[in-house]
Amino acid sequence: MKSNIGLTTRRSLIGMALPAGLFGAKDRIVETTAWSGLFANRAEARPKFKSPEDPARARSFGSFAQLTGAILVRVRTDSGLTGYGLGGGGGAAVYLIEKHLSAVIDGAYPGPPEQVWDLMFNASSFYGRRGLPVMAISGIDLALWDIAGKAGGKPVSALLSAAPRKRCPAYYTGFKIDWALEQGFTGFKLPVSDVPITAPGAMKQIETRVAEAREKIGPRALLMIDALCNWNVPFTLEMARRLAPYKLRWIEEPLMPDDYDGYAKLCREVRGTSISSGEHEYTQYGYRELVGRKAVQVLQPDISWSGGLTALKRIAEECAPGKLPLAPHRGGSKYGLQFVAATPSCILAESFGYGESGGPLMEAMTPKLEKGELLVPDKPGFGVEFDDSILAKLPKY
């Protein structure tokens, strides 16, 4: 039975059936705590710009960049279950959790997680639906799925699939290609957003970088590029033509996320490579728009930004069931990997933690790498645990 605001009942799940009795009949959420500054060495000082028209102003993400703005959420129940989740949004998301979302779920059942997601999304919808509130919800949602796995004594992937993969193909993102080759990676994604499209010879610079990478990795390895929303439609069309000889698997986020018409044009006109997007899209509702407009060819939701596991599961089931491939952004974290392992339409897991400095917290979230494949943790939940003494040193905001 559903209420008039679309909440699922306690024992029902959309497209999912957790084992009966997974949670105790009297189990309640009793604590929700969040921290920012997980990777303190990545904290960015307030930048100083060269001029009033410095183009760097438009690319200054401050404390809300992907890793700089990462948050950790801990949820506890009165039966002693503890779950940990990775979210985004920095101190602002922590504030939302402390001042609103924790009050919404305090005293509620810890599961099914999709029911709690609906509670939080509905409660925050008048100021949320995208951005910071969804990043905060992502962290809580992952902590609840962690609890679900621990309650059932299974890894999260086994809650989602009867036969999840035990290892997943992965690709490396970054400039350390020689190192990545040594680790056995057979897929590589080059960032190209550091080359402004207004720079003299920008197209030639990018083409040279791609050509050098293809020469290093050989003709059979997968090669992708990430423009990080820096290009426009004409620039992308011309770059796709120039880069055709290098056989790119995809061009990632060439345009700003809301330019659905521009993405649709690229998907219609670019040949020889796919257009990927979705890292900066939110929930199944945003993906319905993206997919419905035929404005994407490879889906890249981020489990710690786009709405958590509940949102990614709904994206896979409702927005493109079996029709489009998924390659989740940062899917190689222990959080994203459980989803990748259980979802047949997921083709690749993006590297997380490898070649990066992030300290013990990042190490705890990074799965083992073996011959270019990521090994899916088999411990209950997501397979992540954190020392309370380390968490006590983290800032709130």
Catalogue the active-site residues: 329
CA 174 – CA 390 distance, rounded (Å): 28
Spell out a b/e string for 125-147, using b for 16 or more CB atoms within 10 Å of the CB, else e. eeebebbbbbbbbbbbbbbbbbb
Residue 349 has φ and ψ, to the nearest 5°, of -115, 130
Q: What is the DSSP string of 182-229?
A: HTT--EEEEE-TTS-TTSTTHHHHHHHHHHHHHHHH-SSSEEEEE-TT
CB 227 within 8 A of CB 251: yes
Sign of CA dihedral 253, 256, 261, 266: negative
Residue with tokens 């779950």: 83
CB 226 within 8 A of CB 187: no
- Token output for 112: 């099914």
Residue with tokens 């409660």: 123
Q: Residue 89: which of 60, 118, 69, 65 has the closest Cα? A: 69
Burial status of residue 148 (CB atoms within 10 A of its CB: 0-12, 13-18, 19 or more): buried
Q: Residue 361: which of 70, 83, 44 has the closest Cα? A: 70
CA 340 – CA 349 distance, rounded (Å): 7
